[in-house]
Amino acid sequence: MIFIKSFIKNKRIWNMKDKKEISISQSIVNKEGGVVILSLREYQKLCAKAVPTYYLEGKEAEEIDSLVKEGLSEYRKGKCKRIRSLADVD
């Protein structure tokens, strides 16, 4: 709800004249795990900063899959070493 505050003699009075209401079903909020309300401008900023998701198909997907499998296999065998910075890379 949007309220307009007015102060008269240090007493807070809420002016309900310009009230705007949004009704959101509690079951939808629970089902979705919450609701976020943003201004259109803020939403557009977030969309512009978002990282796109790419889906590979065919040969490209197979190459990435094999690289991931190889990397996980080497990790499980203990062939990976931990580094604190890129300066530690051989």
**Whether the predicted model's global pTM rises above the 0.85 cut:** no
Count of domains in the chain? 1
So what's the pLDDT on residue 14? 55
* Res 23 pLDDT > 50: yes
Residue 58 in any domain: the answer is: yes
Region 34-40 average pLDDT: 87
Residue 50 in any domain: the answer is: yes
Residue 10 in any domain: the answer is: yes
So what's the pLDDT on residue 8? 44
Tokens read off for 21: 């209401």
So what's the pLDDT on residue 81? 84
Of all residues in the chain, the percent with pLDDT exceeding 70 is: 78
So what's the pLDDT on residue 10? 44
Work out the angle at residue 67's Cα, subtended by the Cα atoms of residues 62 and 72, and round it to the nearest 5 degrees. 125
Residue 32 in any domain: the answer is: yes
Residue 89 in any domain: the answer is: no
Interatomic CA distance for residues 6 and 11, integer angstroms: 9
Residue 87 in any domain: the answer is: no
Domain containing residue 69:
4-82
